[in-house]
């Protein structure tokens, strides 16, 4: 079984709709992240969480909100979807050790299309 899972894998929605993307992990990591990826722009950080009580904005948080329901679950919501939120969304996790070669582990991604 995959260590980091995302649901749904693909989603088509209409402008103005509220949608939620979910991420679950079995790695036992405290730190979780949400990124979006757009062609030519690379991966950009939306929100990150270092534990259940800690939520931080990334570089492009406007239009998004998150919820850390448990150590293993981190959800991303688009309150009112707009077409320029069409992108590939990735969840990632990492251990809570600062520094070192510990990397971030990515989920398989959610492809979102907003019409």
Partner 1 sequence: GQNIDQPTEMTATEGAIVQINCTYQTSGFNGLFWYQQHAGEAPTFLSYNVLDGLEEKGRFSSFLSRSKGYSYLLLKELQMKDSASYLCAVRAPATDKLIFGTGTRLQVFP
Site residues for partner 1 per CB under 8 A: 31, 40-45, 48, 56, 58, 88, 90, 94, 98-101, 103-109, 111
Q: Using DSSP, state whether 85 is helix, strand or coil.
A: helix
Minimum CB distance to partner 1 smaller for 77 or for 104 = 104
Query: How near is the Cβ of 48 to partner 1 at its closest, in Å?
Result: 7
- Range list of β-strands (E), the chain: 4-7, 10-13, 19-25, 31-38, 42-51, 54-57, 64-70, 73-78, 87-94, 105-106, 110-114
Q: Report the residue number, 44 or 73, with the smaller CB distance to partner 1.
A: 44
**In whole angstroms, how far apart are CA 57 and each of 39, 44, 65?**
22, 12, 9
Task: Pick between residue 73 and residue 106 the one whose CB is nearest to partner 1.
Answer: 106
């Amino acid at each position: 079984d995959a260590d980091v899972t995302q649901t749904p894998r693909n989603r088509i929605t209409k402008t103005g709709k509220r949608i939620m993307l979910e991420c679950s992990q079995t790695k036992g990591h405290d730190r979780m992240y949400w990124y979006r990826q757009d062609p030519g722009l690379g991966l950009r950080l939306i929100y990150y969480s270092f534990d259940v009580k800690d939520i931080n904005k990334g570089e492009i948080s406007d239009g998004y909100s998150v919820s850390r329901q448990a150590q293993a679950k981190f959800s991303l919501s688009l309150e009112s979807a707009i077409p320029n939120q069409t992108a590939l969304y990735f969840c990632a996790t990492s251990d809570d050790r600062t520094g070192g070669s510990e990397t971030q582990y990515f989920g398989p991604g959610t492809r979102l299309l907003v019409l």
